[in-house]
């Protein structure tokens, strides 16, 4: 079963690229971030034409997440628990029936947090605390569980071509990185780092020729519960998509799990 994450930076602006990638990669499930539209504005007809169901948690103009899947989910949850006053659309979960039993996938768009020293950074850290509490509860269910998406966290210096350029950015602050490590300490596996210790990136800014210079960072992650990690068979980053016409500044990251009967 192929499960992907992709911050597409606008579903309407990137629909041609999304359709092309879906046709090429054929993931069973893809979690999208920054769809930047209300639910009714998401291009459902285009993805349905390729055989995908769409569960959307949108927001006008910014944020917004969605799950596209070849099989219809048996349950969908919208919003990260823990703060009923948080109206930003950044979290969606979908549960699927598989031959091996239930599989739950969370797609998330973690707050950027810049500039440091403002309420935006405080919101980022509070959101990560909520995510940690929710993740711990999910681990207690002892089923395959994935949290995939744009974490807006550079976990290690190797995850940036020029880490010194990010020292004053919320993505690379000790607090942000510590929150990410706490998720791993709970028992989650960073799929990319479980299979490679190389310099791999998922985001290249539109400015200053970052793509041409390979001046990238790795901020899009697939974290797997132990039950999901036991079934991991492959990991990939579709970096070639960044070179397409009118690309997102992020590229898809995917994992493959063996979800046949145990």
Which residues sit in the known binding site? 7, 34, 150, 152, 249-250
Considering the candidates 57, 134, 221, 250, report the single residue annotated as catalytic. 250
Is 69 within 8 Å of 94 (Cβ atoms)? yes
Considering the candidates 52, 57, 109, 145, report the single residue annotated as catalytic. 109
Considering the candidates 28, 150, 159, 169, report the single residue annotated as catalytic. 150
Structure letter (DSSP) for residue 204: E
Query: Quick check: helix, strand or coil at residue 189?
Result: strand
In the residue annotation, 53 being an active-site residue is answered as: no
In the residue annotation, 250 being an active-site residue is answered as: yes
Query: What is the rounded distance in angstroms from the CA atom of residue 110 to the CA atom of residue 82?
Result: 15
Query: What is the rounded distance in angstroms from the CA atom of residue 80 to the CA atom of residue 126?
Result: 12
Query: What is the rounded distance in angstroms from the CA atom of residue 68 to the CA atom of residue 60?
Result: 19
Residues at the annotated binding site for Mg(2+)? 7, 34, 150, 152, 249-250
- Which residue from 20, 81, 86 is spatially nearest to 50, judged by alpha carbons? 20
- Active site amino acids: 109, 150, 250
């Amino acid at each position: 079963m192929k499960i992907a994450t992709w911050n597409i930076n606008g579903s309407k602006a990137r629909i041609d690229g999304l359709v092309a990638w879906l046709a090429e990669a054929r993931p069973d499930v893809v979690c999208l971030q920054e769809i930047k539209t209300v639910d009714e504005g998401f291009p459902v007809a285009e993805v349905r034409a390729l055989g995908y169901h769409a569960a959307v948690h949108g927001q006008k103009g910014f944020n917004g997440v969605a799950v596209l899947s070849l099989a219809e989910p048996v349950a969908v949850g919208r919003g990260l628990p823990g703060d009923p006053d948080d109206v930003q659309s950044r979290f969606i979960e979908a549960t699927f029936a598989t031959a091996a039993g239930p599989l739950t996938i969370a797609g998330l768009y973690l707050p950027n947090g810049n500039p440091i020293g403002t309420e935006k950074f405080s919101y980022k850290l509070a959101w990560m605390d909520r995510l940690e509490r929710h993740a711990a509860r999910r681990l207690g269910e002892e089923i395959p569980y994935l949290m995939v998406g744009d974490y807006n966290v550079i976990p290690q210096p190797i995850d940036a071509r020029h880490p010194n350029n990010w020292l004053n950015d919320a993505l690379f602050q000790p607090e942000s990185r510590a929150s990410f490590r706490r998720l791993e300490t709970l028992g989650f596996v960073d799929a990319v780092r479980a299979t490679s210790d190389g310099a791999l990136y998922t985001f290249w800014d539109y400015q200053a020729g970052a793509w041409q210079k390979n001046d990238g960072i790795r901020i899009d992650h697939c974290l797997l519960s132990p039950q999901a990690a036991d079934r991991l068979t492959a990991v990939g980053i579709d970096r070639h998509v960044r070179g397409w016409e009118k690309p997102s500044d992020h590229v898809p990251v995917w994992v493959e799990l063996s979800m046949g009967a145990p």
